[in-house]
Amino acid sequence: MSVPAMEGDLVTLESGVTEIKTDELMTWKFGHSETLIATINTIPGSFSTSPGDAVGFRDRLKLDHQTGSLTITNTTSSDSGLYQLSIRSKRKTTYRFNVTVY
């Protein structure tokens, strides 16, 4: 899915999930090198965007604790690229978003 944005905009990448199940592991990755930027692991109940802080998204990533959707605030051109969401429970599903910040 292609997602256009202007610098400074807020962009939400929808997970397609209405409610996270108790046995799901969700990972958000960025770029062709698939750098981990956020995780949701329902077994221990952890929601983390700290991997994204380590690669330049400092305090600009927000996870929806009900759906797993990822919001990027105050976008910059360096946020342009491929974002991947992997959802693992009984099976694995992957969603891809191509974000372009103008």
Of 64, 84, 73, the residue nearest 5 (C-alpha): 73
Of 68, 96, 102, the residue nearest 82 (C-alpha): 96
Q: Three-state DSSP class for 52?
A: helix
Residue 16 CA to residue 58 CA, distance in Å, equals: 25
Residue 17 CA to residue 35 CA, distance in Å, equals: 22
- The 10s digit of each residue's pLDDT in 22-58 is 889 999 999 988 999 999 998 888 999 999 998 999 9
* The model scores a pTM over 0.85: yes
